[in-house]
Amino acid sequence: MRSGAARAPASAWTIGAVSLVPFYAAAGLYCFGPQPHRDEALLALMGWSAAMLSYLGGVRAGVEIDSHVQPRWWTVIPAILSPIAGFGLLFGAYRGLLDPVQQVTGFMVAFLLVWLWDQRSDDGPSWRPRFRTWITTGAIIALAFALEQALRM
C-alpha cells in the first residue's frame, strides 16, 4: 500500500531516462531524417513501443505477484493485455491492416491506459505514480511528434 509520495530512487530515474532515448531517436529520425530511412525509423519506434508495453505489463504482473500472498487473477491476467496490444499494433501494421496514424495513435492510447491503471493501483512503491507520469509523458511526447509527421504523409 502507498503512504505518501516519496522520491523515486536515482536508479529508477536513470533507467526511465535511458528508456526514453530510443523513443526520441526513432521519432527524430522519422520526422527529420532522410526520406529513405523514415520507414525503418517508424518500425524502430513501433518496435520499441511494443517492447516497453511488454515491460510495463511484466512490471504490473510482478508487482501483483510480489504484493500479495495469493495474487489476484483479475490483475495478473489483464497485465498480459499490454504486450498483446503492442504485438497487435506492430503486427497489424506489418500486415497492412493499420496505417502509421492508426498505429502511433494506438500506442499512445495503450500507454495512457497503462498509466491510468498504474495511477489507480495501490500496489507498488509510493514514488511510482509520479515517476510513471513523467516517463509516460516523455514517451507520449515522442509518439506525438511521430503522429504529427504521420498525419502529414
Could you report the per-residue pLDDT of 60-109, keeping only the tens digit for each? 888 888 887 888 887 888 889 999 999 999 999 888 899 999 999 999 99
* Cell numbers placing 125: 512503491
Does this model's pTM top 0.85? My answer is yes
The confidence score (pLDDT) of residue 126 equals 86
Q: Say how far residue 123 (Cα) sits from the centre of its chain.
A: 19
User: Residue 25 burial (CB < 10 Å; 0-12/13-18/19+)?
Assistant: middle
Selection from 98, 106, 61 nearest residue 80 by Cα:
61
3-state helix, strand, coil in the chain (%, to 5): 80, 0, 20
